[in-house]
Amino acid sequence: MNNYLTSEDRLLQQQRARVLYVVSGLLVAGISVYLIWALRELILPIIIGMVMAYICLPLIDYLKGKRFSRFWAIIFLFGTFCLSLFYIINLIGQVVPDQREELELKVRVRYKIDQKFNQIMGLGSFAIIDGGNFFYSLLGKEIEPLKDSVDQVLRLSDSERKMLEKLHAASSATVKAAGGEKYWDYYQVNRRRDAERKRQQEIVKNDLRQEPDATPESTGGGESLLLVMFNAISLWLITPLVFLILLFDDGKLKKGLVQMVPNRYFEVTLMVLENINAALGKYLRGTAIECFLMATSFSFCLFVVGLDMRWAVSIGIIAGLANAIPFLGPVIGLVVGVLYAIMAEEVNSVFHFINPDNLIFAILVVVGVVQLIDNAVFQPYVLGGSVDLHPLVVTVGVMGGAVIFGFAGMLFAIPAIVVMKVVVFTLFDQLRAYYII
């Protein structure tokens, strides 16, 4: 039918097509931007589900190669994943204290942080404004707001305070005599510090907004926390769904997207997608294996140093997962380990010279040794040269990701840069090879 069209008609037809493409393109772009903005809370759970599915695809292929059907391979993998998750949650659940332990922990951590802070900064027991050593004059003003916010989290609410007092009253005299209620002394010190701090703040910042009351949590605090937890859990329910859908999809999504590509760019698109797949797959799978090895090494070393098994494994998992973030990951591991060292009151190490007072140094040594193993063994053998990025690019990328998207930005900055690098490096080569440019 097109044979009957004049050249003028063809020109008009092309113009109409162009207008249609531009308008529909703008419309789709607008709707996409709106949807991304409106559903931004879902982006992270979806991305994590996608990444997990992507990491697991070779496992599915491997199981299929072992004569599993795709369905059973996915079920097997998902079952293993759920069991592992259940085990980890259970393990962390053992570390998570009950109501009494939680109160004691809050009191103890607050006391210890205050004590160590004052010790390092050269402050007296209750000094807030005056005094302080060189470190305090250098960093005190920067760190203090951070410490105050930690204080806010750890401060007991009115109801918690009442409960603690009730528990203390109910404790037997023998426990008290044996010094089994050390937390009560800490609690008294914390209260005195609070009173002193409040007094000093009132003097200095009389005209400023008063610090929130020591009982910021209303009686409905518990309910709102539950609501927040419920919302977070319901939000994250999408992760396993995305994970399963993508595994069952079996490449249909990719096929559908490639279908929309014009013939001229068909082979180029497939080649570029393949290159991205190879580079990203190598990086993500390498990083996943590296994180696992790091978590195992951390857990083992912390256990040897004298941490309780539950804590060693929990801190090891956190440090291992955090290792996915270049530069900042080891710092997160270090901070968590040091925080534990600050609040630890007993250590059961195979090395008898390690005690609660020098545990912090032992943790520093552990972090250093594990990082050394990572740099010398894990990274060269597991990651290889999969991320051949300049350290400056990595640093700026991670920081930029953090500024724009927060924690998720830090986590996914490097994979995003890897994709961009591959696209930039291969796209132009391929476009030239296929005579497109």
Partner 1 sequence: MTNNIKNNPMWAFLFGQVRSCHPGVPDALVKVPLFDHLSKRELRIVTGIIHHRTYQEGEFVFQKGQPGAAMFIIDEGEIEIVDPDQDEKCNVIARLGENTFFGELALLDDSPRSATAVAVKLTRIYAFFRADLDDLMNSNPHIGSHVYKSLAMIIGARLKATNEQLFNK
Choices 57-65, 325-333, 337-345, 359-367 (CB under 8 A): range interacting with partner 1:
57-65
How many residues touch partner 1 under the rule CB under 8 A: the total is 24
Give, as ranges, the residues between 238 and 297 that touch partner 1 (CB under 8 A): 250-252, 255, 258-259, 263-264, 266-267, 270-271, 274, 277
Residue 279 beta carbon to partner 1: minimum distance, rounded to whole angstroms: 13
Residue 401 beta carbon to partner 1: minimum distance, rounded to whole angstroms: 29
Cβ proximity to partner 1, 67 vs 209, nearer residue: 67
Determine how many CB atoms are found less than 10 A away from the CB of residue 327.
12
Tell me the CA distances in angstroms from 229 to 222, 223, 225, 226, 233, one per residue in order: 11, 10, 6, 5, 6
Cβ proximity to partner 1, 250 vs 357, nearer residue: 250
Burial letters for 371-382: b for 16+ Cβ neighbours within 10 Å, e otherwise?
beebeeebeeeb
Burial letters for 279-312: b for 16+ Cβ neighbours within 10 Å, e otherwise?
bbebbbbbbbebbbbbbebbbebbbebbbbeebb
Residue 433 beta carbon to partner 1: minimum distance, rounded to whole angstroms: 5
Cβ proximity to partner 1, 215 vs 277, nearer residue: 277
Choices 59-67, 115-123, 180-188, 394-402 (CB under 8 A): range interacting with partner 1:
59-67
d(CA 291, CA 98): 30
Per DSSP, 202 falls in state H
Cβ proximity to partner 1, 261 vs 393, nearer residue: 261
d(CA 339, CA 301): 17
Classify the phi-psi angles of 132: left when phi > 0, otherwise alpha if psi is within -120 to 50, otherwise beta.
left
Residue 36 beta carbon to partner 1: minimum distance, rounded to whole angstroms: 28
> Contact with partner 1 (CB under 8 A): which of 11, 19, 40, 58?
58
d(CA 312, CA 340): 10
Residues 60-89, one symbol each (x = binds partner 1 by CB under 8 A, - = not), give xxx-xx------------------------
The answer to whether residue 145 forms part of the interface with partner 1 (CB under 8 A) is no
Q: Which residue, 214, 250, 271, is CA-closest to 432? A: 271
Residue 75 beta carbon to partner 1: minimum distance, rounded to whole angstroms: 16
Positive or negative torsion for Cα 418, 419, 420, 423: positive
Instruction: Provide the H-helix boundaries in 39-69.
Output: 40-65
Residue 268 beta carbon to partner 1: minimum distance, rounded to whole angstroms: 8
Choices 40-48, 55-63, 212-220, 293-301 (CB under 8 A): range interacting with partner 1:
55-63
Cβ proximity to partner 1, 59 vs 143, nearer residue: 59
The answer to whether residue 353 forms part of the interface with partner 1 (CB under 8 A) is no
Positive or negative torsion for Cα 282, 288, 291, 292: negative
Cβ proximity to partner 1, 30 vs 58, nearer residue: 58
Residue 270 beta carbon to partner 1: minimum distance, rounded to whole angstroms: 5
Cβ proximity to partner 1, 118 vs 430, nearer residue: 430
d(CA 268, CA 274): 10
Give, as ranges, the residues between 199 and 228 that touch partner 1 (CB under 8 A): none
d(CA 436, CA 81): 45
The answer to whether residue 433 forms part of the interface with partner 1 (CB under 8 A) is yes
Residue 239 beta carbon to partner 1: minimum distance, rounded to whole angstroms: 24
d(CA 348, CA 306): 4
Residue 267 beta carbon to partner 1: minimum distance, rounded to whole angstroms: 4
Provide the residue count of the chain: 437
> Contact with partner 1 (CB under 8 A): which of 184, 236, 405, 434?
434
Cβ proximity to partner 1, 65 vs 179, nearer residue: 65
Cβ proximity to partner 1, 206 vs 263, nearer residue: 263
Hey, is 251 helix, strand or coil? coil
Q: Which residue, 84, 234, 214, 79, is CA-closest to 154? A: 214
Cβ proximity to partner 1, 271 vs 288, nearer residue: 271
Cβ proximity to partner 1, 41 vs 250, nearer residue: 250
Helix 309-322 and helix 70-95, axial crossing angle in degrees, nearest 10: 120
**152 in Cβ contact with 197 (< 8 Å):** no
d(CA 90, CA 239): 20
Contact residues toward partner 1 (CB under 8 A) are 58, 60-62, 64-65, 250-252, 255, 258-259, 263-264, 266-267, 270-271, 274, 277, 430, 433-435
